[in-house]
């Protein structure tokens, strides 16, 4: 293939591909005034680029509940440094999707159970969530390469639990979606209008409460009217990000 076709296949600008040819990163043969690149060299570079954004070395975590339990103790205590150490040991070796589904999510749900049982205050609950937000901001990857599509993540109006949407955005970004994270508690028409304007193929509404789930159904109807071209997925407490990732991949085709 020629250089333009290789650039297209790699999802980069012509000049970027040209720079890689000049530096030797993308092997190419000079033919007349242009370059010819083999399919296998393009595929190899594409693989290398996507691997470069994955966890550097996979580890098998034998006991996720133990990890979640330790993080729970740290965030319940407001021990941000301790939580950062625990997450730092895992991040880079496991996906952010697993980190959320198997560590941060369970830890936060346990904080919620403590709150419902009168064992932690609203202030402690807020503090724990804020620590998790910062941890996620530090460890969420932003991989290079051609995006699967553009997606919007938010919560329905009235749903102030913002963490599941933040996690959904991190999970989809890690899985090569171009993400617009609109934070929490937005009028449905606002979400739909932005989705239409940016040509989003996927809209995700995340919820954590029963009331939020009901509001999401109503919001979904409005969003579908405003932007009929986008697929809408709604997440509820206990749903997993790995399920979200799989459903989103079906949308991307
Ligand atoms: C922190 C917190 C708050 C904070 C939120 C701050 C913030 N910035 O988010 C504050 C203090 C504001 C708050 C307020 C309230 N809260 Co609150 N809160 C929580 C708590 C402890 C954590 C929420 C959270 O982040 N959960 C962790 C997430 C990550 O877990 P998850 O929901 O399972 O999420 C997974 C999936 O959703 C998936 N996912 C995400 N998106 C998508 C999309 C798709 C398509 C798929 C497939 C999957 C998916 O990813 C996640 C990771 O695995 C929960 C406890 C709990 N059980 O969740 C209570 C909880 C949700 N709150 C509760 C309540 C009652 C309230 C209040 C009504 C309290 C009050 N009387 O004021 C208000 C309501 C506010 C509102 N209008 O929304 C209840 C809800 C009960 C219910 N069944 O409805 C809970 C469960 C606590 C409890 N045990 O009773 N809360």
Indicate which residue's Cα is closest to atom 30 of ligand 1.
Answer: 105
Indicate the angle between helix axes 3-10 and 14-23, nearest 10 degrees.
110
Q: Report residue 205: phi and psi, to 5°.
A: -110, 120
pLDDT at 252: 86
Q: What is the pLDDT of residues 169-179, one digit of tens each?
A: 999 999 999 99
Q: What is the C-alpha separation between 238 and 249, in angstroms, rounded?
A: 20
Question: Considering the domain 3-51, what is its CATH architecture?
Answer: Orthogonal Bundle (1.10)
Indicate which residue's Cα is closest to atom 53 of ligand 1.
Answer: 101
Domain ranges of the chain: 3-51, 64-139, 150-252
Domain spanning 64-139: CATH 1.10.1240.10: yes
Question: Considering the domain 150-252, what is its CATH architecture?
Answer: 3-Layer(aba) Sandwich (3.40)
Q: Could you tell me which residues come within 8 angstroms of residue 19 by beta carbon, excluding any fewer than 6 positions away?
A: none
pLDDT at 55: 47
Burial of 188 (0-12, 13-18, 19+ CB in 10 A): buried
Q: Please tell me the distance between residue 122's alpha carbon and the centre of ligand 1 in angstroms.
A: 13
Q: What is the C-alpha separation between 237 and 187, in angstroms, rounded?
A: 21
Buried b (16+ CB within 10 A) or exposed e, 70-90: bbbebbbeeebebbbebbeeb
Residue 233 C-beta-side C-alpha neighbours within 13 Å: 24
pTM of the full predicted structure? 0.83
Q: Report CA-CA distances (Å) from 59 to 49, 55, 104, 234, 239.
A: 21, 9, 18, 31, 24
pLDDT at 58: 58
Q: What is the C-alpha separation between 30 and 121, in angstroms, rounded?
A: 68
Q: Please tell me the distance between residue 77's alpha carbon and the centre of ligand 1 in angstroms.
A: 19
Indicate which residue's Cα is closest to atom 6 of ligand 1.
Answer: 161
Q: What is the pLDDT of residues 54-106, one digit of tens each?
A: 444 556 777 999 999 999 999 999 999 999 999 998 987 899 999 999 999 99
Residues of the chain with pLDDT under 70: 50-59
Indicate which residue's Cα is closest to atom 56 of ligand 1.
Answer: 109
pLDDT at 51: 57
**CA 172, 174, 177: angle at the middle one, nearest 5?**
50
* Ligand 1 interacting residues, C-beta cut-off 6 A: 100-101, 105, 108-109, 111-113, 115-116, 122, 125-126, 129, 158-164, 167-168, 204, 206, 208-212, 233-235, 237-241, 243-244
Helix (H) or strand (E) holding 16: helix 14-23
């Amino acid at each position: 293939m020629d250089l333009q076709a290789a650039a297209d296949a790699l999802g980069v600008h012509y000049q970027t591909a040209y720079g890689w040819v000049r530096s030797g990163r993308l092997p190419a043969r000079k033919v007349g005034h242009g370059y010819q690149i083999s399919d296998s060299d393009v595929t190899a570079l594409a693989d290398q680029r996507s691997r470069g954004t994955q966890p550097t070395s996979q580890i098998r975590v034998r006991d996720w509940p133990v990890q979640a339990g330790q993080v729970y103790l740290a965030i319940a205590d407001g021990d941000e440094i301790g939580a950062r150490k625990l997450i730092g040991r895992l991040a880079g070796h496991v996906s952010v999707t697993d980190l959320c589904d198997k560590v941060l999510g369970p830890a936060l749900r346990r904080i919620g159970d403590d709150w419902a049982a009168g064992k932690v205050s609203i202030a402690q609950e807020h503090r724990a969530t804020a620590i998790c937000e910062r941890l996620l901001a530090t460890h969420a990857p932003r991989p290079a390469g051609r995006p699967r599509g553009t997606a919007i993540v938010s919560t329905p109006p009235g749903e102030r639990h913002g963490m599941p949407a933040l996690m959904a955005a991190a999970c989809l970004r890690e899985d090569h979606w171009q993400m617009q994270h609109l934070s929490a508690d937005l009028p449905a028409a606002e979400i739909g209008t932005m989705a239409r304007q940016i040509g989003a193929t996927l809209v995700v509404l995340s919820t954590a409460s029963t009331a939020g789930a009901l509001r999401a159904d109503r919001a979904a109807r409005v969003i579908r009217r405003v932007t009929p071209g986008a697929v809408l997925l709604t997440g509820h407490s206990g749903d997993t990000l790995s399920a979200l990732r799989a459903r989103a991949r079906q949308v991307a085709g």
